[in-house]
Amino acid sequence: MALRKYIFVTGGVTSSLGKGIISSSLAKLLQARGYSVTIQKLDPYINVDPGTLNPYEHGECYVTEDGAETDLDLGHYERFTNIPTTQNNNVTTGRIYQSVINKERKGDYLGKTVQVIPHITDEIKRRIKILGTKGNFDFIITEIGGTVGDIESLPYIEAIRQLRWEMGPLNSLVIHLTLVPYLAASAELKTKPTQHSVKMLLENGIQPNILVLRTEHPLNSDIRKKVALFCNVEYNSVIESIDVSTIYEVPLLMQKEGLDGTVLRKLNLPEGEKPEMKPWKQFVGKVKNPKKSVRIALVGKYVELPDSYKSIMESFVHAGAVNDCKVILQSIQSEKINEGNIGSIFTGMQGILVAPGFGDRGIEGKILSARYARENNIPFFGICLGLQCAIIEFARNVIGLTDAHSTEMDLKTPHPVIDLMEEQKGVTIKGGTMRLGIYPCNIMPGSRCSKIYNQPEVLERHRHRYEFNSNYLDMYEEKGMMAAGINPDTELVEIMEIPDHKWFIGVQFHPEYRSTVLSPHPLFIDFVRAALA
Ligand code: GLN
C-alpha cells in the first residue's frame, strides 16, 4: 500500500528559480530511498495545454507517452526519475476551467452559481488527488507554476490550503523556493525578499514547512537563523541551493543539505540510511570532467531561446557522458544559412542536427544543412522536421525532383514528398490534434539503426501532422536512401538513413523525449560517437 504523501512546491520572489529541478531532485532522492514518486506541474495560464504556445513564449513543448503536450518541466521529471509521466502530470488553468464549464453545460451544477471557490478550487484539488488515487505512489510532488503573489496563482494556493487542512499535517507539506540576492556594492546577501514572499503565503493561509533558498554565495548560519526566525521555520528546514554548473548536481547538493531527510522527518517517516547515489555521482563526474569534446551544430529557427530545444540539449548531456566527452552545441539560426556562407558556418562542426519545427521560416537553411552534411560526409541527425528536410533535399538534389517540397510549406508542389497524414486531412482544430504520443516502429534488419537499437521493435514519441509520402519510396531506395523504420500498423516510414554515409539518419519521431540520465537514448549516443570518430 502506497503512502500517498503530498508535497507542494511553490516559488517566490522571481520566476525561473528552478522549481522543476528542485522537485525532480527531491523525487530522485526519495526514489533512491526506495519510495515511489511522481511529480505534477500546475500551470496558471489559460491555454488548455502548451501545445499551442510558441517555443519563444514558453520553451519546448514536451510530449508524454500517452500523447499529452506538456510543460518542459515534465522532461526534467522524466530525465531525473526515469519514470514516464502522463496527461495527469500537467494541468493548466485552461484545462481546469474547461472541465468546470463542460460540467456546467451538462447540468452537473444545476441551480448553483458556479464560482472560483468552491468549483474551480475543487477541480484543482481533484486533479491533484487523481495522481494519488490512480497511481501507486508514496509521494506526489505538485509544483505550482508562477510566483506567489501572482493573481493567477491564487486559486492554486487556496486549493493547497484546503487540501492541507483536509489531509492533516502528517500527510502533506509545503516547500517554498525563493531567492536570496547578493548585493555586490555592500557585499551582502539579502533575506528580505524571502521574508516578504513567505508573508504573502501566510496571508493566504499557508505556512511553508521548508524553505529552499537559491543563492550565488554560500549562506552562513547567521543568515539561515535569520530566515528561520522571521519565516517561522525550523533552522534545519532552511536549505541552501547554490548555483552549480550542471542541473544534475542539484540532487547531490540537496542530499548534502538534508532536504530528503527533512521531508521524511516532517512527515514522521523513518529517515533510515542515506541513499546510495553512486550511479548518479558517476554520471555527474563524467559530465563535469569530460576527457574530450565534440562540436555539433544545432540548426533550428528557435535557437535564440535555449529552452526551445531543452530535451535535445539534455539528450546530448546524457550521450556525452556515455562517450566521456562534452558535446559543444553550436546553435545556428537556419534563416541565416545560405549557399554562400554555409561552408564557413559549418567549419569545425563534427556533426549536424536539424531540429524539429513548424512552418516555412528558415526552411531553406535547414534543407541546405542536410545537403551539406550529405555531400561532405558529416554525421547528420534529422529530427521530425529535420528528417523531412533531409527527404526534400534528397528529392531535389539526388533524385532530380527539383520542385519537391512538403505540402506544409508549398501546397502546390508537383512533388509532395512530405504530405499531410491521411488521419490529419479533415482536422481543422489546432489544439491537441497532431499525431501525438507513443507509436511502435519496426526496425529494418541490416540497417544502421538495427545495430544502434539492437532490438526489432521500438516505441518512440511523436508530434507532427506531416509524413514521408511512401509513393516516392522506390525512388529513394534506388538512389541510396533507405527506410530503416516502419510503423507496423500504418506502414508510415518513421526512419530514413543513407547507408553509404558516415552517419546519416532522420527520424519522424522525437527520440529526445525518451533520453534520461539512467537510460540515455541510443541514437544520441551513437550520433555523438560517430561525430567523435
Ligand atoms: N511541422 C512538421 C509536421 O507537422 C514537423 C513537426 C515537428 O518537427 N515536430 O509534420
Confidence bin at 421 (pLDDT 50/70/90): confident
Which residue's CA lies nearest to atom 6 of ligand 1?
464
φ, ψ of residue 115 in degrees (nearest 5): -135, 165
φ, ψ of residue 468 in degrees (nearest 5): -70, 135
Going from the Cα of 467 to the center of ligand 1, the distance in angstroms, rounded, reads 8
Distance between CA atoms of residues 487 and 428, nearest Å:
25
Task: Judge if the beta carbon of residue 420 lies within 6 A of ligand 1.
Answer: no
C-alpha neighbours within 13 Å on the C-beta side of residue 265: 11
Are 318 and 521 in contact by the 8 Å Cβ rule? The answer is: yes
360-400 pLDDT, tens digit per residue, is 999 999 999 999 999 999 999 999 999 999 999 999 999 99
Count helices and strands in the chain by DSSP H and E runs: 18, 23
- Asked whether residue 58 carries a pLDDT value surpassing 90, the answer given is no
The DSSP symbol for 425 reads T
Confidence bin at 271 (pLDDT 50/70/90): confident
- Asked whether residue 404 carries a pLDDT value surpassing 90, the answer given is yes
460-509 pLDDT, tens digit per residue, is 999 999 999 999 999 999 999 999 999 999 999 999 999 999 999 999 99
Going from the Cα of 380 to the center of ligand 1, the distance in angstroms, rounded, reads 18
- Asked whether residue 514 carries a pLDDT value surpassing 90, the answer given is yes
**Would you state the pLDDT for residue 15?**
87
Mean local confidence (pLDDT), 18-42: 96
151-172 pLDDT, tens digit per residue, is 999 999 999 999 999 999 899 9
Distance between CA atoms of residues 279 and 285, nearest Å:
10
Residues with Cβ within 8 Å of residue 341, at least 6 apart in sequence: none
Distance between CA atoms of residues 530 and 533, nearest Å:
5
Mean local confidence (pLDDT), 388-416: 97
Going from the Cα of 512 to the center of ligand 1, the distance in angstroms, rounded, reads 14
Least confident range from 31-45, 419-433, 484-498: namely 419-433
Q: Which atom of ligand 1 is nearest to the CA of 418?
A: 10
Mean local confidence (pLDDT), 209-238: 97
Best mutation site among 389, 419, 430, 465 for ligand 1 pocket (most ligand atoms within 8 Å of CB): 465
Confidence bin at 409 (pLDDT 50/70/90): very high
Q: Which atom of ligand 1 is nearest to the CA of 386?
A: 8
Going from the Cα of 423 to the center of ligand 1, the distance in angstroms, rounded, reads 15
439-448 pLDDT, tens digit per residue, is 999 999 999 9
Distance between CA atoms of residues 62 and 77, nearest Å:
11
Are 507 and 494 in contact by the 8 Å Cβ rule? The answer is: yes
How many CB atoms within 10 Å of residue 83? Answer: 16
Going from the Cα of 298 to the center of ligand 1, the distance in angstroms, rounded, reads 17
Are 238 and 224 in contact by the 8 Å Cβ rule? The answer is: yes
Confidence bin at 87 (pLDDT 50/70/90): very high
Best mutation site among 311, 430, 464, 492 for ligand 1 pocket (most ligand atoms within 8 Å of CB): 464
Task: Judge if the beta carbon of residue 408 lies within 6 A of ligand 1.
Answer: yes
Phi-psi domain of 491 (left: phi exceeds 0; alpha: psi -120 through 50; beta: other): left
Residues labelled catalytic: 384, 510, 512
Q: Which atom of ligand 1 is nearest to the CA of 384?
A: 8
Distance between CA atoms of residues 328 and 236, nearest Å:
39
Q: Which atom of ligand 1 is nearest to the CA of 357?
A: 8
The residue type of 371 is R
Confidence bin at 428 (pLDDT 50/70/90): confident
Task: Judge if the beta carbon of residue 69 lies within 6 A of ligand 1.
Answer: no
Task: Judge if the beta carbon of residue 391 lies within 6 A of ligand 1.
Answer: no
**Would you state the pLDDT for residue 403?**
95
How many CB atoms within 10 Å of residue 444? Answer: 16
Best mutation site among 311, 384, 409, 422 for ligand 1 pocket (most ligand atoms within 8 Å of CB): 384
Q: Which atom of ligand 1 is nearest to the CA of 466?
A: 10
The residue type of 326 is K
- Asked whether residue 432 carries a pLDDT value surpassing 90, the answer given is no
Going from the Cα of 479 to the center of ligand 1, the distance in angstroms, rounded, reads 25
Going from the Cα of 71 to the center of ligand 1, the distance in angstroms, rounded, reads 18
Going from the Cα of 356 to the center of ligand 1, the distance in angstroms, rounded, reads 6
Q: What is the pTM of this model?
A: 0.95
Distance between CA atoms of residues 240 and 215, nearest Å:
7
Strands 182-183, 188-189: pairing is antiparallel
Are 349 and 379 in contact by the 8 Å Cβ rule? The answer is: no
Which residue's CA lies nearest to atom 8 of ligand 1?
356
- Asked whether residue 134 carries a pLDDT value surpassing 90, the answer given is no
The DSSP symbol for 456 reads S
Q: Which atom of ligand 1 is nearest to the CA of 359?
A: 1
**Would you state the pLDDT for residue 512?**
98
**339 against 424, higher pLDDT:** 339
**106 against 424, higher pLDDT:** 106
96-105 pLDDT, tens digit per residue, is 999 999 999 9
**Would you state the pLDDT for residue 293?**
97
Task: Judge if the beta carbon of residue 463 lies within 6 A of ligand 1.
Answer: yes
- The cell for 340 is 554562400
**Would you state the pLDDT for residue 306?**
84
Q: What angle do CA 217, 218, 222 make, to 5 degrees?
A: 120
Going from the Cα of 303 to the center of ligand 1, the distance in angstroms, rounded, reads 17
Best mutation site among 63, 366, 385 for ligand 1 pocket (most ligand atoms within 8 Å of CB): 385
- Asked whether residue 304 carries a pLDDT value surpassing 90, the answer given is no
**Would you state the pLDDT for residue 323?**
97
- The cell for 305 is 531561446
Mean pLDDT of the chain: 95
Distance between CA atoms of residues 274 and 286, nearest Å:
23
Best mutation site among 63, 298, 308, 358 for ligand 1 pocket (most ligand atoms within 8 Å of CB): 358
User: What are the start-end ranges of the H helices in 267-409?
Assistant: 278-288, 310-322, 342-345, 363-375, 385-394
Task: Judge if the beta carbon of residue 385 lies within 6 A of ligand 1.
Answer: yes
**Would you state the pLDDT for residue 424?**
86
Least confident range from 108-112, 317-321, 354-358: namely 108-112
Which residue's CA lies nearest to atom 1 of ligand 1?
358
Task: Judge if the beta carbon of residue 384 lies within 6 A of ligand 1.
Answer: yes
**Would you state the pLDDT for residue 127?**
96
Distance between CA atoms of residues 531 and 526, nearest Å:
8
Distance between CA atoms of residues 277 and 430, nearest Å:
43
Which residue's CA lies nearest to atom 5 of ligand 1?
385
Strands 435-443, 457-464: pairing is antiparallel
Tell me: cis bond preceding 118? Omega within 30 of 0 counts: yes
Going from the Cα of 187 to the center of ligand 1, the distance in angstroms, rounded, reads 50
End-to-end CA distance of the chain: give it in Å, rounded: 50
**Would you state the pLDDT for residue 208?**
97
Task: Judge if the beta carbon of residue 356 lies within 6 A of ligand 1.
Answer: yes
Residues with Cβ within 8 Å of residue 426, at least 6 apart in sequence: none
Taking every pair of C-alpha atoms in the chain, what is the biggest distance, in angstroms? 75
- Asked whether residue 286 carries a pLDDT value surpassing 90, the answer given is yes
φ, ψ of residue 463 in degrees (nearest 5): -160, 85
